């Protein structure tokens, strides 16, 4: 599972919803998950996640929305396409 979460300025009103969704998906048993935040740049938060809600609430919102770069980054982390899911929250 690759979870791409938009952290651009337009997401200010939706940050709590995005964080809760990430937390729910992060805790699915038996599923390897990558958590990636993006705005004008892409940041892989996977190694820093203990609590997705807390982590995403700390990320500063701003910048534009570079969905293409986020999708490309996510695509690079798909090892078995038939067994993978990429979720874009924007």
Burial of 44 per CB tally in 10 Å (0-12, 13-18, 19+) = middle
Asked whether the CA dihedral 76, 46, 7, 86 is positive or negative, the reply is: positive
Convert the pLDDT of each residue in 28-49 to its tens digit. 778 888 888 888 889 888 887 7
Lowest mean pLDDT among 11-15, 26-30, 83-87: 11-15
Q: Which CATH superfamily is domain 2-89 in?
A: von Willebrand factor, type A domain (3.40.50.410)
Is the pLDDT assigned to residue 6 strictly greater than 70? yes
In 3D space, the residue among 44, 69, 75 whose CA is nearest the CA of residue 59 turns out to be: 44
């Amino acid at each position: 599972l690759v979870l791409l979460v938009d952290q651009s300025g337009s997401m200010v009103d939706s940050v709590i919803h995005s964080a809760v969704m990430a937390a729910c998906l992060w805790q699915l048993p038996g599923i390897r998950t990558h958590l990636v935040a993006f705005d004008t740049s892409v940041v892989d938060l996977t190694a820093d996640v203990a609590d997705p809600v807390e982590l995403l609430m700390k990320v500063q919102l701003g910048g534009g929305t570079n969905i293409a770069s986020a999708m490309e980054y996510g695509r690079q982390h798909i090892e078995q396409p038939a067994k993978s899911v990429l979720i874009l929250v924007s």
